[in-house]
Structure 1
Amino acid sequence: MRLHRQEHAPADGVHRHEDMDRGDGGDQHGGGYEGDIPPGIVHGCLRREERGLRAPACVPGPRIAPGQGRMPTPQCALAPESACSVECHPGGQGAQGVRSGVPMDGQEMLEAILASLQPGIVRRSVCGRRWTAVEAEVDGVRRCGLAATLGLLPEAGGASVSVDPALSGIELAQTILNAEGPQASLAAAALNALLPRQPERWEDARVEAILRERGGGRAVAMVGHFPFADDLRPHVGSLAVLEQRPRPGDLPEEAAADTLPASDLIVITGLAVVNRTLPRLLALCPPQAYVILAGASVPLSPILFRYGVHMLCGSVVENIEPVMQAVARGEGFRNVHPAGVRRVVLSSPDRR
């Protein structure tokens, strides 16, 4: 894959919210923030055969060649194909372990999620100015995964990111271990398209309503200025908003080390998964805090519950073609959502 321009994440993982995943939950779960962003760029149909690579590769570098993958050592000893769910391992490196000062390997977390992916053929990718979408075929069924577009793409009219047509769906998702900028967004969208689905566990809810319900009298911290932040403030005990580029009333990103450990309820942008800053943020969350990941970039994977997350507020694409078209036009989530995206919540059964 090739990249012409990219923007790196800040050191502590705090992000400016511009659209849903740049606060990754804003437009999707609680309102809308529209910036002046030009349209997106559509990439061609990428037809290739899945070669059955089920496990993530532990090979450094952004390109994992066919046949070079090897199985990592996941925390759960059961094979990815088994019925194991991570919440059945309270003795492992769960939330308490992470927040008790046990070092957390961010790559291990991603590798565990990658090991759970279903083989699929990537049929099409769209890298828009705000959103990235990957359409994949899994067991004969078309799916679409979304992720916020990282970095700064050129104006419409020229491709900024190309996908190696030799990569399988899982191989494309595996590049999230090393990729930066729009390349990481393509990897995250592919990952979300290939995740095993558990619709029986999904609930329809908005993160703003959840925070109002849970935040009364509690210290709430928000990583990224979600659009509903000002409306939420009167309904919680206190609200601290961490921003890379603070607005009036926000805290600078440097305040994360002091703010998160003192919080009872924490909502983190799903963008932190895409740029691999989530482990750093989770390490700052105290054991008693209830932690929510919010936004369409969030992988709806219970594996995240092992690492101190309690609720996932994400999205499922139900009408692929209109969503791909909206992404290609550079639309914000305010317009991508009604095109065919369902907001869903997945909660840990251990702490609801």
Structure 2
Amino acid sequence: MTEGNFTDYVKIKVASGKGGQGSAHLRREKYVAKGGPDGGDGGRGGHIIVKGNKNLWTLYHFKFKKHFQAGHGEHGGKQTSTGADGQDVFIEVPLGTQVKNPETDEVFFEITEDGEEKIVATGGKGGLGNWHFKSSTNQTPRYAQPGLPGEETELLLELKLLADVGLVGFPNAGKSTLLSVITSAKPKIADYEFTTLKPNLGIVEYRDYRTFVMADIPGIIEGASEGKGLGHYFLRHIERNSTLLFLIPADTKDIYKEYEVLLNELQKYNPELLDKERLVAISKADMLDEELKKEMKQELDQQFTNVEYLFISSIAQQGIQPLKDKLWEMLNKGEEKV
């Protein structure tokens, strides 16, 4: 999916370099009548290498460059001189990128660490020079090996965002507004469905200069797990979030029912998503007076027995710090307190 500067799905073609040809050179010096073979080996062709880069958040840089060719190995020289290896080409990708077979959708590997490298197309081996073939019965071989060809292949790059907290909710639930308030991200915000057509990432600044990453995933609709709307394109991003924050507007007719619908969509897409830590934030709480909020709490306490909930208002800045505190506690559960 591509929208603006966000790209999370791209097909590329790669070709490694071919190996250099071995040399069939015969040694010739002024006072050496028959120097014999001294042809060197050809250099290795360049590899195509996928490398993780923690400073990248999107595959947008592949929008205008989708073909990658590594350098060819140089031919061997005289005096058993080996040709130079072809130049390797590094393809940098954000963490959370899967490299797949575009035909079968098979996952070859996944890049999850900064600086992690995987060779996707191996350079051709350089040919042997003629000195390798010298023997007692063939003292002057006048032949050498050619270099081996490189590899050509198509790859599918698919990004699954690596964020600590993923925002889950129906369109127009206030996810983008919350992200803009709680982080320095500047998502597109408007009062209509599917304003967000791409995942947005933001860094949440917590106490004592500590931070965590929050992702605003485009709104889920019923049937998203079957691909309705923008569904399955974005549900995969939720797989990488360690904590899920469900955002439900306070003016929803049935808050708990909406939560169950969202849970159902996640379960149908991937049942393992229900094993993640969950928190419910009831947004737009500035529309409620204290008496109405008290009545809602009595009902919600009976419904939300297995998950915590809290009231927030992004516009009025209500409940934002308690929300940060709770998310930080959930993200660092089990760690020793310093």
**TM-score computed with the length of structure 1 as normaliser:** 0.25
For the pair shown, which has the larger CA radius of gyration, 1 or 2? 2
Structure having greater relative contact order (Cα 8 Å, sep ≥ 6): 1
The structure whose residues are more often helix, as a share, is 1
Name the structure with the higher strand share: 2
